[in-house]
Amino acid sequence: MGAYLIRRVGYGLITVLGVLFLLFVLFFAVTDPDDIARKAVGERARPEVYALWKKNHGYDRPLLLNRAYAAGDSRRYTDTLLFDHYRRMLTFDFGNSDADDSLIARRLKEGMGPSLSLTVPLFAFGLVLGVLLALFVAFFRETYIDRAVLVLCMLTMSIAGLLYIISGQYLIGMLLKWFPISGFAFEPYLAGRFLALPVLVGVVSGIGADVRLYRTIFVEESNRDYVRTARAKGCGEVRVMLAHVLRNALIPILSNIVITIPFLFTGALLLESFFGIPGLGSLTVEAIQGNDFSTLRTMVYLGALLFIAGQILTDISYALADPRVRLT
Amino acid sequence: MGFLSNTLVVLLLVGGVWLARLVARDRYWRENATQLWRRRPLALITLALFLLIGVLDSVGWVGGGASGEDDVAALRSRTLIDRLFQPERFTEASYSAPLARLSFYGGQPLKHPGKHLLGTDILGRDVVYRACKGVRVALLIGGFTSLIVIPIALLFGVFAGYFGKRIDDAVFFLMTVLASVPSLLLLIALVMVMGRGTLQVCIALGITGWVHFCRIARGETLKLREAEFVDAARALGVSDLTIIRRHVLPNIAHLIIITFALSFTGLVLAETILSYLGIGLDGSWGQMIDQARNELSRTPIIWWNLAGASVALFVLILAVNMIADALRDIIDPRTRREGR
């Protein structure tokens, strides 16, 4: 187990280094740092302002090799954009935003709370509702109820996420006036009122794909031998579904879900931006619209980091449950 | 531009005919195709209609515009769809309602009463015309991207799976790295970095979607490498490349087709998000939806812009989803066994 653990974590670390290299290529080699600076200070800025901005944001170094130092000097390699990029990302020193010079780390800390307060209920409601609905459909498999729900799922899957948000805001927020259209508050009752609509819209827009996936898992499980045994010993169909199929189907369902948990932290891009929730999703959208490359870079890095961590955790829990995995 | 797109259309049509002949010649594909047609006739007709509009909107030539236009407009190539709708002749006041005859204030007759089936947008352009123009963009996003992606993914995936060892390690690492970055964020980062244009967005979508195809090709090739007919071919002294061409590729073709159909909708829907973020393709439905999203709060409400774009988007996605679903049922041996 120990060797497997070390190997798995080691591969994860190498992947992180690979992701960082990808980010370096994208954000420093493909994008010219000069372009970033020009977008930040304006086309007509004086050369001094321009040079100062580049210096302050650490864009003034050469990419791979600093020829200002002699051949034997280690700073020839360390005083470069590549090395600096790796050093800062790996020590979580994200620096300042390219757009407004605010500390990125502080904005991340501020955005985490609102993001989680949206994504956690969204995740929980979506999971429970999806599993219940799928169980219901699997119970009536190969009947008209099954068909009808599957068609409904297909219809909901074919609508763009943007439309759910627009129509949700219009119908529930503007016409029915049940909940505020957008906004956020840290006080619990108000936050609940503000978050109700985005959670509702998010759950509805994601439910179709989930139900179809879970239903397939349930139906696959209910064709297994142990289900036939359970029926043979006289279990009712309800008991078979709830006690036998559901419990066994939870394993593939959970393994599908564990991987999405890290993304609860990065927030929901569209939902947050539309409903005015000051979370990390909004931060990303602002970064895109404001040409804020350093914030965007940080968000992509964090997203990848969380994903890799989630994957390692999934694999380890698999290894704990199944000894065969450890040996391969 | 006009010449290039004309040539591309001709090439695509030739490719389509060639593919159709291939399908017709092989018994396996012919049976699957007839079964697909029997199961989803409506979805296939819808898709064919969209394809027709897309082709009509890709064939164009210069000239034939309204009289008295400036030089720039006169030199622009007009596609068949442009010639059909003649947008420059029927530009109305902004936001005329569907089939409106009178203007809202004062009841004056409009310039082209009753001409606009779905009204006009803020610049007075016909909504039906704009929705039709969006067809080509959507097909370009889904189809053109896959055209770039599938050959590359096949090359990497099949070689990694077939030759294993170092090649497999390298490809697998590349796949892990690309898959680690959340796809939407990677997509955004790529478009931000490369700039905003049709080709750039397609390449960005391709890089993001590439991993999925590659993983499937690699996994399936790994299985096929151990198959007995591949062993037999190798024992007979057939070269590796011939084995790949003759035994591996035909046996993963069905998976690639299913994956293509499934990823098509994802690509088109991803573009709507890009459009909302301001980095989408010009003239796409996503952009129409994005522009129309604040029009619902006007009084009187402007719904036709949003409706035109979203219904077109919905119908295309639904048709492709239905076809993909049926295809998977027909082709995938696992679900096939279950059905019986």
Interface pTM (ipTM) of the complex? 0.83
CA–CA gap between residue B222 and residue A59 (Å, rounded): 45
Residue A210 burial by Cβ neighbours in a 10 Å radius (0-12, 13-18, 19+): buried
Q: What CATH number does the domain located at A104-289 have?
A: 1.10.3720.10
pLDDT value of residue B313 = 92
Question: A95: pLDDT confidence band, cut at 50, 70 and 90?
Answer: confident
Q: Where are the domains of chain A?
A: 2-90, 104-289
pLDDT value of residue B72 = 67
pLDDT value of residue B61 = 77
A263 shares contact with chain B (CB less than 8 Å): yes
A296 shares contact with chain B (CB less than 8 Å): yes
Q: What percentage of chain A reaches a pLDDT higher than 90? A: 8
In the predicted model, what is the mean pLDDT of residues B294-300?
79
B62: β partners: B77
Half-sphere exposure in the Cβ direction for B316 (13 Å, CA):
30
Lowest mean pLDDT among A51-60, A63-72, A122-131, A178-187: A63-72
Per-residue pLDDT reduced to its tens digit, A152-165: 999 998 998 888 98
Q: Find the residue in B nearest to A26 (Cα).
A: B193
The model's pTM = 0.86
Question: B311: pLDDT confidence band, cut at 50, 70 and 90?
Answer: very high
Half-sphere exposure in the Cβ direction for A182 (13 Å, CA):
15
Closest CA to A184 of A267, A263, A101, A260: A267
Per-residue pLDDT reduced to its tens digit, A188-215: 888 888 888 999 999 998 898 889 889 9
Tokens read off for B48: 């064919």
If one compares B66 and A310, the residue with the highest pLDDT of the two is: A310
In the predicted model, what is the mean pLDDT of residues A209-225?
87
Question: A326: pLDDT confidence band, cut at 50, 70 and 90?
Answer: low
Q: How many helices (H) and strands (E) does chain B have?
A: 16, 2
If one compares A93 and A265, the residue with the highest pLDDT of the two is: A93
CA–CA gap between residue B289 and residue B276 (Å, rounded): 8
Q: What percentage of chain A reaches a pLDDT higher than 70? A: 96
Per CB distance under 8 Å, which residues of B are interface residues toward A?
173, 176-178, 180-182, 184-186, 188-190, 192-194, 265, 269, 272-273, 276-279, 286, 289-290, 293, 296-297, 306, 310, 313-314, 317-318, 321-322, 325, 338
pLDDT value of residue B312 = 92
B173/A18 CB distance under 8 A: yes
Q: Find the residue in A nearest to B322 (Cα).
A: A154
Per-residue pLDDT reduced to its tens digit, A4-17: 888 888 999 999 99
pLDDT value of residue A328 = 53
A285/B277 CB distance under 8 A: yes
CA distance A265 to chain B (A): 12
pLDDT value of residue B338 = 42
In the predicted model, what is the mean pLDDT of residues A67-78?
71
Question: B336: pLDDT confidence band, cut at 50, 70 and 90?
Answer: very low
Question: B340: pLDDT confidence band, cut at 50, 70 and 90?
Answer: very low
pLDDT value of residue A142 = 81
Per-residue pLDDT reduced to its tens digit, B35-86: 888 888 899 999 999 988 888 888 777 776 666 666 666 667 777 777 777 7
Residue A205 burial by Cβ neighbours in a 10 Å radius (0-12, 13-18, 19+): buried
